Amino acid sequence: MTSRPEQDMETNVTAVSAADMTDARKGGNTRKVFVRTYGCQMNVYDSERMTDVLAPEGFEATDDLEDADLVILNTCHIREKAAEKVYSELGRIRKVKEERAKSGKDMMVGVAGCVAQAEGEEISRRAPIVDLVVGPQSYHQLPSLLEKARAGSKVVETEFDIDAKFNHLSERAEKQVLKRPPSAFLTVQEGCDKFCTFCVVPYTRGAEVSRSVEQIVSEAERMAAAGVREITLLGQNVNAYHGTSPDGAVWGLGRLLRRLAEIDGLDRLRYTTSHPRDMDDDLIEAHRDLKSLMPYLHLPVQSGSDKILKAMNRRHTRDEYFRLIDRIREVSPDIALSGDFIVGFPGESDQDFEDTMDLIRQVGYGSAFSFKYSSRPGTPGATMDEQVPEDVKSARLAALQALVAEQQKAFNASRLGMTCDVLLEKTGRNPGQLVGKSPWLQPVQLDAPEDLIGSIQAVEIVDIGSNSLFGRLIAGQDDLGRSGRIPAPAA
């Protein structure tokens, strides 16, 4: 599994049971739900789908934990001490719940996601305030599970039934989609069969399963009709996608991307996260053939040492990775490459680490994510000999991150003076400022009127930062017919 951990995010949804809604309509009240999302983009997508599943029950969002009648923690098991961090958060929620109880207000608490899958009933035992534990393959059952919890049962649902979930989630609530930004996620594949020795995902998400082509296309069409301009296809190992088409054929990710590129209004496609072993010719050629497939690829390698790659069970060598990068750049010379790196894996010597640094120098990344190895209970890596001391891991991580930062700065600098299309997604921190996304996934900040959110505009890159680009709007019109007006200078 090659998932890319992200910043913790909050997604707020409100769910109400049918009985609650009847009472709410009579009393003029609704109940509120607060969802906190941890981890990767797939968890962000799952939180959104929880919103969709609960939409028929009635919703009112809140970003105020103290105002919530229902709190759901959608958890991630990738991070170090992930479970302990969840228990710590539950301790804070317990205090909020106790304060609400003093004024006669109830609060239900649920734990979802991969920590829920891994810990199961242990969560209810250690944190009695939790009413509901639901794994990532079971959240489509939330309405009925919430009913059981409200009736007084301690609910733990961690069955693996991905097909049932995908079938249940075949439609998105259009009203919910309309509330979301013009860039959205769409899960097409879950689970992983690679069994890298550092990773818990095969145990928490299960074996690789792909959604059908029909389900994905239908969902993407509804998203595009609701104003979504860019979709990022998600999977624990997304380029292992092998979905069934309406005629019974099995499609790979390249063919799926070609079909999605035909959807009217869907102007940008991306996918993450990939494994080097599953980059087949058709997918590589899609980067040459599809204008809507953005020139960005997240392709984790984890280490540049063949010895460590073997110990990690990555099942490819550094030379195979180099040759794959050459093939990709041959069809898409301007592509921005991103990767994941783990330093301090058991047995990693100074030379092994230098091999990783050498690989980074040779490839040249536009960005990368790097982490110190931390053992995960139940994985082979946790019991390996030659665990690397913490101070050595810290020093290696600092050196690697400095090299990647230097490469990222150089890549950003290469965009200076360039005019590129930017998808404008939201308002910025400053008045009159919007934030968009370049084709290479860099944030772009510029002055522009708010009514251009959702449009794709020509932008000249006039300055660079460590992580962002700064642009100037070019006069013209986007393909929705909205003017790219250049704002007047501030007085």
* 336-343/183-187 β-pairing: unpaired
**What are phi and psi for residue 361, nearest 5 degrees?**
-60, -40
Cα torsion through 459, 460, 463, 465, rounded to 10: 40
Is 196 part of any known ligand binding site? yes
**Any idea how long the chain is?**
491
- Is residue 378 within 8 A of residue 350, CB to CB? The reply is no
Is 420 part of any known ligand binding site? no
Helix count and strand count (H, E) for the chain: 16, 21
Is 40 part of any known ligand binding site? yes
Look at residues 450, 467, 452 and name the one whose alpha carbon lies nearest to residue 421.
452
Look at residues 234, 205, 193, 187 and name the one whose alpha carbon lies nearest to residue 78.
205
Q: How many Cβ atoms from other residues are within 10 Å of residue 40's Cβ?
A: 22
Both tokens of residue 240? 């292992």
DSSP character string of 290-320? -TTB-SEEE---B-S-HHHHHHTT----HHH
Q: What angle do CA 24, 25, 26 make, to 5 degrees?
A: 90
Report the alpha-carbon distance of residue 148 to residue 146 in Å, rounded.
5
Look at residues 415, 420, 424 and name the one whose alpha carbon lies nearest to residue 474.
420
- Is residue 412 within 8 A of residue 441, CB to CB? The reply is no
Report the alpha-carbon distance of residue 428 to residue 448 in Å, rounded.
10
Both tokens of residue 9? 């995010």
Report the alpha-carbon distance of residue 98 to residue 40 in Å, rounded.
31
| DSSP secondary structure code for residue 488 in this structure | P
Look at residues 186, 204, 185, 184 and name the one whose alpha carbon lies nearest to residue 195.
204
The beta strands (E) that lie in 42-180 are given as 70-75, 108-113, 132-134, 155-157
Report the alpha-carbon distance of residue 415 to residue 420 in Å, rounded.
9
Report the alpha-carbon distance of residue 354 to residue 173 in Å, rounded.
50
Cα torsion through 350, 352, 353, 355, rounded to 10: 120
Report the alpha-carbon distance of residue 362 to residue 469 in Å, rounded.
25
Annotated binding residues, written as ranges, equal 40, 76, 114, 192, 196, 199
Annotated binding residues for [4Fe-4S] cluster, written as ranges, equal 40, 76, 114, 192, 196, 199
